[in-house]
Structure 1
């Protein structure tokens, strides 16, 4: 599936986790990759974010597939920096065919107790960052009259969640952006879709702050406690590998996915059965 020979993909938040999986999967299908990441810490995020060495490792893994990779340190919170990423892709490869707007953060607080900084950082990265990424590539895609855009939302957008209402709100906003943009650019041969994963086996899940949210009845829950919670559910509700989400993205950006547009593709191990 997904012959992407000679396509060029821009992927945000690609230093590790889902972004790295997308970069490697699209490269294995034939695409050259421009991958960007902030590669530094944000004060309100309670776990270590990706680093420049992580970004370099993603580039190395892409190049092991036989495709080219250009890693760029860039902040999705800045329109100017995302414009520069898009221009770098055009300068190095001549075009942009695919955007995967994947960059995101997680943090935890109940709404009544949430600080302004916690709220604003979440909206700036997880929602405005998607908006900036879209705007950076759209003039080029519209001029060429072709493009594939996929944004990372979350099943949480449709469910709500305790202690992460800002995350749910941002991811719901991503769906609004995706559906609206899909209507605006369909006439140019551009498709715009979202993937909504459930729990993914990445550092965003595996950190003490997330363990405390998932296992609130223990004072210092461990990775084993969190994994036991997932294991106690239905057989297919365990944490998914990042590569499983990447397979869905690959479908949406490939020729086989040309009829997906304005879609919210859920991968939740059954959690979506309780949503509309």
Structure 2
């Protein structure tokens, strides 16, 4: 039912986890896809290969999402390849431990740069393109941590909470240009970012006990709502945060 034929989607952090699943689902919906990645050439190339096997065009652009010069270059490469950007998914992110009183300034700064500054940088570069097109969809990936806070990860929670506020602000600012801006807030997801903590079976069971649906989702289950927000089915949604967490955090 969702058909994104003719659309070009740019997904940051698209070589793994939620970004990877989202890139592939966009391709299944007939969109052409660009992904960004930082280090893993093999993983990025695998995503591109999968997308091309689905009959869509795709490129991977390498760079640091928190550095302005890299972002400008990556966006330029996407434009040179596709001529436009219709959909931006600000997905790139990191999650690290940081007890307050012990957290280094470097840890705080790195989290803000990757998780939050990247959202600003890519939006700042892509919005002028979308304004000219008079059409655009921006989907920012937040977290339940940004909705309720997260002890020992206050830097992560702060970055994700700021994304929700940024989303609401841009939604009002850009509505007149037919640019819709929304947010998806996942809870725990079975990705490599969580692999270390999920290696403890007791911790996994503890997490499951906090989720009414009783299990930990796969990245594809987060990708679905993201692609929905980019589709014609979501034409009357902007400034919203969709909680995709199995009922673990109920917000209003």
TM-score (norm 1): 0.88
2:82 paired with 1:105: no
Aligned-partner SS, 2:64: coil
Query: Which residue of structure 1 lines up, in the alignment, with residue 226 of structure 2?
Result: 249
Q: Cα RMSD between the aligned structures?
A: 1.3
For the Cα contact (< 8 Å) 1:179–1:193, is it kept in 2?
yes
TM-superposed CA distance for 1:225, in Å, is: 2.4
1:165 is aligned, of 136, 154, 157, to 154
Query: Which residue of structure 1 lines up, in the alignment, with residue 38 of structure 2?
Result: 38
Q: Distance in 1 between matches of 2:195 and 2:202?
A: 11
Which runs of structure 2 are paired with 1:263-274 in the superposition (5 Å)? Answer: 263-273=240-250
Query: Which residue of structure 2 lines up, in the alignment, with residue 225 of structure 1?
Result: 202
Query: Which residue of structure 1 lines up, in the alignment, with residue 4 of structure 2?
Result: 4
TM-superposed CA distance for 1:113, in Å, is: 1.0
Aligned length: 252
2:130 paired with 1:141: yes
Which runs of structure 2 are paired with 1:85-234 in the superposition (5 Å)? Answer: 85-207=74-196, 210=197, 222-234=199-211
For the Cα contact (< 8 Å) 1:83–1:137, is it kept in 2?
no
Aligned-partner SS, 2:59: strand
Q: Distance in 1 between matches of 2:68 and 2:214?
A: 37
- 5+ long unaligned stretches in structure 1: 40-50, 212-221
Q: Distance in 1 between matches of 2:211 and 2:15?
A: 31
TM-score (norm 2): 0.96
Q: Distance in 1 between matches of 2:209 and 2:139?
A: 32
Query: Which residue of structure 2 lines up, in the alignment, with residue 48 of structure 1?
Result: none
TM-superposed CA distance for 1:223, in Å, is: 3.4
Q: Distance in 1 between matches of 2:8 and 2:209?
A: 41
Query: Which residue of structure 2 lines up, in the alignment, with residue 72 of structure 1?
Result: 61
For the Cα contact (< 8 Å) 1:150–1:249, is it kept in 2?
yes
For the Cα contact (< 8 Å) 2:143–2:160, is it kept in 1?
yes
TM-superposed CA distance for 1:134, in Å, is: 0.6
Aligned-partner SS, 2:243: strand
